[in-house]
Amino acid sequence: MEKIVIVEDEQWMRQELQCILEKEGYQVAVVTDFEDTSVQITAISPDLVLLDLNLPMESGFEICKSLRKHTTLPILVLTSRDNLRDELHALGLGADEYLTKPCHKERLLARITNLLRRNQDRKLFVEEMGMKLDIQTYTLYVEGSSSVLSENQGKMLALLLKSGQEPVTKENFAAEIWGGMEYIDENAFSVNMTRLKKVLGNITDNYKIVTLRGRGYYLTRIEEQRK
């Protein structure tokens, strides 16, 4: 059962939304204390946030911005602020949808369904730096090309993509692939890393895996300088 958190200070609106969502089979949590709201939301661990903008203590804009610093969960803004400037500002801060009150029940439910579906699809992929990796089939998509990686190579690339520019240590790889350093196969690790570098090289010249001696590995994008 998917969980939705309602961040709304008007009690009658909060109760109406809760009733609508629970009738549709969603698990609902509500926020009534609007201090450190993003921390409360994160602790609830919802599948979607239904967020008002006009709130005491801190605005919905601030909450949206704070959430986007550490989570990708869907944010649907539902507000009485019916102007383009506010909508663009909210979307620019990372909101996924913007609806104005009063909102037809069917429209609200349709947007929620679409956001939850998109979020489920998002969980099946790792997308960073212009690369997209299907973590079910370990298919890599980049620059219009694709390649199916082995499971170990796929797990290695997923770690590299998630880490950004932070080096991934051999211990990190070992924990993900073999369950810990005590089970690591040094030869298998070297072979998989070499093959992963080769796969990237075959698909594109714009990415490479950099080895930092004694620190680990990271993925970088090489800027093309063609004139």
**CB-based contact 140:149 (threshold 8 Å):** yes
Mean pLDDT lowest for which of 97-101, 137-141, 152-156, 164-168?
164-168
User: Is pLDDT above 70 for 223?
Assistant: no
pLDDT tier, 183 (very low <50, low <70, confident <90, very high otherwise): low
What is the average per-residue pLDDT within 36-48?
Answer: 92
User: Is pLDDT above 80 for 62?
Assistant: yes
What is the average per-residue pLDDT within 128-147?
Answer: 87
Cα–Cα dist 135/125, whole Å: 6
**What average pLDDT does the chain have?**
88
Retrieve residue 44's tokens. Answer: 């609830």
User: Is pLDDT above 70 for 184?
Assistant: no
Q: How many CB atoms lie within 10 A of CB 161?
A: 20
pLDDT value at residue 162: 86
Phi and psi, residue 44, nearest 5°:
-70, -30
User: Is pLDDT above 80 for 49?
Assistant: yes
Higher pLDDT, 108 or 171: 108
Q: H/E/C letters for each residue in 105-162? A: HHHHHHHHHHHHHHHHHHCCEEEECCEEEECCCCEEEECCEEEECCHHHHHHHHHHHH
Sign of CA dihedral 140, 142, 146, 147: negative
User: Is pLDDT above 90 for 41?
Assistant: yes
What is the average per-residue pLDDT within 207-223?
Answer: 87
pLDDT tier, 225 (very low <50, low <70, confident <90, very high otherwise): very low
- 98-116 pLDDT tens trace: 999 999 999 999 999 999 9
Higher pLDDT, 44 or 124: 44
State the pTM of this model.
Answer: 0.61
What is the average per-residue pLDDT within 5-13?
Answer: 95
User: Is pLDDT above 60 for 227?
Assistant: no
Work out the burial of residue 70: count CB atoms within 10 Å of its CB; fewer than 13 is exposed, 13-18 middle, 19 or more buried: exposed
pLDDT tier, 226 (very low <50, low <70, confident <90, very high otherwise): very low
Phi and psi, residue 208, nearest 5°:
-155, 155
pLDDT value at residue 181: 63
Q: What domains sit in the chain, N to C, each tagged with a CATH number?
A: 3-122 (3.40.50.2300), 125-221 (1.10.10.10)
Share of the chain above pLDDT 90, in %: 56
